Amino acid sequence: MARLTFFAVIYCVLVLSHSLIPGVKATTFTVVNKCDYVVWPGILSNAGIPTLSTTGFTLQIGETRIITAPTSWGGRFWGRTHCSQDSTGKFSCLTGDCGSGKLECSGNGAAPPATLAEFTLNGFGGLDFFDVSLVDGYNIPMLVSPQGGTGQNCTYTGCVYDLNGSCPSELKVMSTDGRDGVACKSACEAFSQPQYCCSGEYGTPDTCKPSSYSEVFKTACPRAYSYAYDDKTSTFTCANADYTITFCPSPNTSQKSSQEQTTTQAQNTGTTTTTSPLINSTIVYEGGLDDSAASPSTCTHVFGSHAIAGIVGITMAIWWSWQLF
């Protein structure tokens, strides 16, 4: 009888400890197309991480698709544009093409320039780390909005502004008929110079600084990565969140998302939060950034209460079970 009770206690302890670890549940990505054109999203899992149920699909105007990612998944989403299929059945896109020749990217990444949404789920301290990156250039407006998550730096990020029209001529990628800009290269892609690529003698945060070209991206989209070492204002963290990825969001979408997120966090914590807008010439971004929010000390704070409760519970249960013998 004691042995059966012992195993029953151990089983309960395992279930309890699993439920107390942040980030163990599957994460849902809701991908939304608010563009006035079709988008073909691509997905690439990080090395050694299992692929998701799809690696590329069609998203019609106004369409939404929900994708579930397992615990600790990491990878990136992007949008392909101006895609078509030739007479041989080969699928290709003018921007964001992954080179697979098919709708599914099947382990291939986006050819730059492409706007990227990057995720590491259940990382340090049980937190999700995410960003929107223009390091490989830009091709489509994108917004990442956490849903239901918590944390001091758990808020939306992205690039809502359409950079294709204002892209410097030396970085601009033109449509096949030469009439419109369809993407904007990074300076690294355009010039292959180490000072723009943060390589060689410029391969550290101290030696690689923002350029006039990366500042074009940063001014328009202050929360997105504009160059390789743009970490301080461009990395965000959440605990136990799902995410909405929106192509071509309107300014009102970003404001509403931020306001809802701030209200939810204030209700959860019982605190009052004052937001300060981040402004460029076109978009008002609601919600200020906490420069220290992504530090290891903050991660430990978020994780701490769950971990301590789990450890105490496990310790007490094991001690009690041994008393039965």
Tell me, what's the pLDDT at 27?
96
Residue-level pLDDT at 178: 87
Is-contact 164 145, C-beta < 8 A? no
Name the CATH topology of 24-252. Answer: Thaumatin (2.60.110)
Q: What is the rounded CA–CA span in Å between residue 245 and residue 253?
A: 12
What's 295's DSSP letter? S
User: ∠ CA 78-84-86 to the nearest 5 degrees?
Assistant: 140
pLDDT given for residue 299 in this prediction: 32
State the CB neighbour count (10 A cutoff) for residue 319. 9
| SS3 label, residue 190 | helix
Burial class (CB in 10 A: 0-12, 13-18, 19+), 271: exposed
pLDDT at 25: 72
Q: What pLDDT, on a 0 to 100 scale, did the predictor assign at position 279?
A: 34
CA separation for the pair 28, 316 (Å, rounded): 34
Residue 192: its pLDDT value, please?
Answer: 96
Domain locations in the chain as residue ranges: 24-252
**Residue-level pLDDT at 251:** 58
pLDDT (0 to 100) of residue 293: 34
Walk along the chain (325 residues) in steps of 10 and give the mean pLDDT of each run. Answer: 44 40 73 97 96 97 97 96 96 98 97 98 95 97 96 95 93 92 97 96 95 95 95 93 96 42 41 34 33 31 36 42 46
User: Which stretches within the chain are classed as H helix?
Assistant: 2-20, 187-191, 194-197, 212-220, 251-269, 296-323
